[in-house]
Amino acid sequence: MIRVAAGRPRWWQSIAFRLSVAVALAGVAITVLSATIQIRIDARSGRDRLEETLARFDETFVPAISRSVFDFDLVQTRILLQSITMAPDVVDAQVEERRGTDYVLLIQESDATAERPKTTTFPLVVTDESGEDRVIGRLTVTADLAMLHRAVVDRIVPTAATSAAVVAGVSLLILVLVQTMVVRHLRTISRFVDALTLPQLDRRELRLGHRVHVFGSRDELDRIATVINEMTRRLDAAYGEVETMRSTLASSLDQKETLLRELYHRTKNNMQVVSSMLALQAAEYPDDSSIRDLVSATRDRIHAMALVHQKLYQAQDLSRVDMSEYLTSLVDHIVHTRSNARPHVSVACDVASYALALDMAMPCGMIVNELVTNSFKHAFPGGRPGAIRVEFRREDEERFRLSVSDNGVGAGPGVDPASATSMGLTSVRSIGTDQLDGTVSFHHTDGFECTVVFPEQARH
């Protein structure tokens, strides 16, 4: 079954909300930027107008004030100063009379205290009877730039508020439109895909319901619905083909496993037949111990190979052998066949449970068979008691270690197992180096021990 792990998103995770928030943030940023720019422009324009007003004072009020001061007409001078303070952003005007090198306040008209004063001074000049210009005082006009800026802000705030309201309205409209035209159909698509199950892919069809096409043509959502419907039909057809192939492969695999188990079983039975025939053949020579020993050794070797096939057809995995079960069963068989001749010899197995491939497990069994049999035959002469030990474990991450040891009489003086020509030790060396691609070592100073260290996978 196809399942899409997608729950319904929270309202703040929806596309419509995110888009409307993005539009609102963009609108607020644009509004703030435009308001800031407009404030700077209006402030600059207001300062320019103030400069022009002050410049006109030099042409209009300064000559009249100079004449009234010269005539000492203080009433007329005060009236003129009051007229000056009535100008926009002007908060203070004062006239100072010149007396020598100093100036003394004569009249002052103040409307308010300036927060950010801008002061401009005009000299009061009159022409005396000799036609020379003479400075009789000065006019100081103070304007408040803070009033200018407040006036600008007072004009901009309503405009910015209107813009913010428009942005909020547009964002809400976008939220509603996207929710209606896009998000609800995407949720329909999500629910449809989430409810899909493989056996019924072609039994359902995605329908987006009533939609308004402004320009009379199919849009992206319609195309998505068409593609999904086509995809479900193709997936259903492909699923049918896959199911047919899976059924065929499963049937073929079952047949092959059955045939392989039967092959292992027949191989094991055939080896037992061969072993039985050898036993019957040896019975014809009851007085020839060499023939009986030769047949017995051969039968043990055949059993070691047959036991691998028995373990394979009994196991779930037909390609690998559990070494713990295999070697333990093999040693038990050897002990059972030799216990009458050596009742005082005990055998211990310390075999880790690792699974090896057939081409690695069988050589290990052959080596154990040769060495355990050799210990039973030669290590404990004259009914001497003793012990035989079989170990199998990991040497490291890439290699295994197989060893067979006993506490018997050892190989004897002057005998080197590494170069001995007997069939058993020659087979052990050959199997360990050629088939297992490992190293074979012998220790025979106190008893006898043979160790084979080999890789998990041989290179040959």
Which tens digits make up the pLDDT trace of 309-367? 677 667 667 778 898 998 998 888 888 877 666 778 899 999 999 998 888 888 898 89
The three-class DSSP label of residue 316 is coil
The pLDDT tens digits of the residues spanning 239-254 come to: 778 888 888 888 777 7
The fold of the 15-165 domain, in CATH, is Beta-Lactamase (3.30.450)
* Contacts with 297 (C-beta within 8 Å, 6 or more apart), sequence order: 373, 424
pLDDT at 3 over 50: no
At 40-77, the pLDDT tens digits run 887 788 788 888 888 888 888 889 988 898 888 888 98
Per-residue pLDDT reduced to its tens digit, 368-425: 988 998 888 888 888 888 999 999 999 998 999 999 999 988 877 767 788 878 888 8
Measured distance CA(432)–CA(400) in Å, rounded: 12
120 with 172: CB under 8 angstroms?
Answer: no
pTM attached to this predicted model = 0.48
Model confidence band, residue 10 (pLDDT cutoffs 50, 70, 90)? low
Give yes or no for residue 2 having a pLDDT over 50.
no
Sheet holding 448-455, edge to edge: 345-351, 386-394, 399-406, 448-455, 439-443
Per-residue pLDDT, 225: 80
Distances (CA, A) of 202 to 157, 230, 238, 435: 61, 9, 11, 57
CB 449 within 8 Å of CB 442: yes
3-state SS assignment for residue 122 = strand
**CB–CB of 295/281 below 8 Å?**
yes
* pLDDT over 60 at 460, yes or no: no
Above 60 in pLDDT, residue 290? yes
Percent of the chain with pLDDT over 70: 85
Residue 209 pLDDT: 66
Task: Extract the tokens encoding 343.
Answer: 């009742």
Lowest mean pLDDT across 162-166, 199-203, 427-431: 199-203
**Dihedral sign, Cα of residue 342, residue 343, residue 345, residue 348:** positive
- pLDDT at 111 (0 to 100): 73
Taking residues 160-181, what's their average pLDDT? 80
Q: Rounding to the nearest 10 degrees, give the CA dihedral for residues 395, 400, 406, 411.
A: -100
**446 Rama sector, left if φ>0, alpha if ψ -120 to 50, beta otherwise:** beta
What's the rounded Cα separation, in Å, for the pair 275 and 279? 6
Residues 345, 383: Cα–Cα separation, whole Å: 9
Residue 228 has pLDDT above 90, yes or no: no
Q: How confident is the model at residue 453 (pLDDT cuts 50, 70, 90)?
A: very high
- Which CATH number does the domain 342-460 belong to among 3.40.190.10, 3.30.930.10, 3.10.180.10, 3.30.565.10? 3.30.565.10
Query: What is the phi/psi pair of residue 151, to 5°?
Result: -65, -40
Domain extent listing, the chain: 15-165, 342-460
User: Both tokens of residue 184?
Assistant: 């609800």
Answer whether residue 93 shows pLDDT above 50.
Answer: yes
**Residue 374 confidence (pLDDT):** 87
Residues 336 and 339: their CA atoms lie apart, in Å, by 5
